[in-house]
Amino acid sequence: MTGADIPLPGGHRLPREAVEFRAARAGGPGGQHVNTSATKVELRVRIDDLPYDASEKARLRERLGGRIGADDALRVTASNERSQLQNRAQAERRLATLIGAALLVDRPRRPTAPSAAERRRRREEKARQSERKRARRPITGSEE
């Protein structure tokens, strides 16, 4: 696993030297083995080390703020597998997926106006509601 770059969305590649991996003991499957092996993997990469321009890095900071620590490092964990190597690969895939989703630019919303039929239905409903409430009022001498 060492040496090769990590593929990222947009055709970019992240050098493995820019990524810090930490292993820890994980809960979950494994029986007695789980208490003795550090299979959970935490991947950390500084936002400034990512191969994106300033506007894309700003978008990443905005959208992934909860996963970015005070040291400006994006943190991804994986602990589903029993093998540290598999968890490491899964953390790399999650990193690419997270970055890809965060970099998507939302289409601008085009405001739409209600159709003529919708405006007519609304007016009719308002008239029905008004009549319903008017009918609930007590009858006075001037309304006879």
CA distances (Å), 92 to each of 54, 86, 96, 140, in order? 22, 10, 6, 77
What DSSP line would sit under 75-123, residue for residue? EEEE-SSSSHHHHHHHHHHHHHHHHHHHHPPPPPPPP-PPPHHHHHHHH
Domain at 6-103, CATH from 2.30.30.180, 3.30.160.20, 1.50.10.20, 3.90.1150.10: 3.30.160.20
Confidence of residue 127 (pLDDT cuts 50, 70, 90): very high
As a whole number of angstroms, the distance between CA 73 and CA 63 comes to 14
Q: Is the pLDDT of residue 132 over 90?
A: yes
What DSSP line would sit under 14-26, residue for residue? E-GGGEEEEEE--
pLDDT tens digit sequence for 15-44: 888 888 888 877 666 666 666 778 889 999
Domain ranges within the chain, ordered by starting residue? 6-103
Predicted pLDDT of residue 51: 87
Identify the three-state secondary structure at position 68: strand
Quick count: other Cβ atoms within 10 Å of Cβ 81?
19
Length reported for the chain = 144
Rounded average pLDDT over 73-89: 89
Q: Is the pLDDT of residue 87 over 80?
A: yes
- Kindly tell me the number of DSSP H helices and DSSP E strands found in the chain: 3, 5
